[in-house]
Amino acid sequence: MRMKNLVLISMILMLLILSFSGCVGEQTSQPKSDDTVSEPIEADAIVYIDSYEFHPYSTTIAPGDTVLWINNDSVAFIIKGNIVGGDSFQSPTLRKGDTFAYTFEKPGSYKYEIVTHPWTKGGFIVVE
């Protein structure tokens, strides 16, 4: 009698496990009410951050063009850039998967770097 109960309980548990196993992969994440849905950013150039480096290292754009930085590293970064005697920009903290966009209005050569990791190689944007 005891063995029959044990087999019956085992079968019921197996059926429950099998019936719920298909549901796990189908769950979707719904935005919370306080989450904001951001619009896609149209960029004229994209710079990826991988292995503490910018890819591409240098790019040339026109005045009014937007550059989008995408952090693909597992480390958080802050990007800061400037033009000699002129404009400067700085991103918020970019964690993995975060993006930052900046529109360059004035011509010139901009140098940018990772503020939180100053030993890393910076990048250049030339606005012609």
30-58: pLDDT as tens digits:
333 333 334 566 889 999 999 889 999 99
Strand order in the sheet with 99-104: 53-55, 45-50, 65-71, 99-104
User: Whole-angstrom distance between the N-terminal and C-terminal Cα of the chain?
Assistant: 87
Burial category of 20 from C-beta neighbours within 10 Å (exposed 0-12, middle 13-18, buried 19 and up): exposed
- Per-residue model confidence (pLDDT) at position 42: 81
**pLDDT tens, residue by residue, 103-115:** 998 888 889 999 8
Q: What is the pLDDT of residue 121?
A: 80
| pTM listed for this prediction | 0.66
Query: CA 123 to CA 98: how far, in whole Å?
Result: 18
| Cα gap 7→118, rounded to integer Å | 65
63 neighbors 107 (Cβ within 8 angstroms) = yes
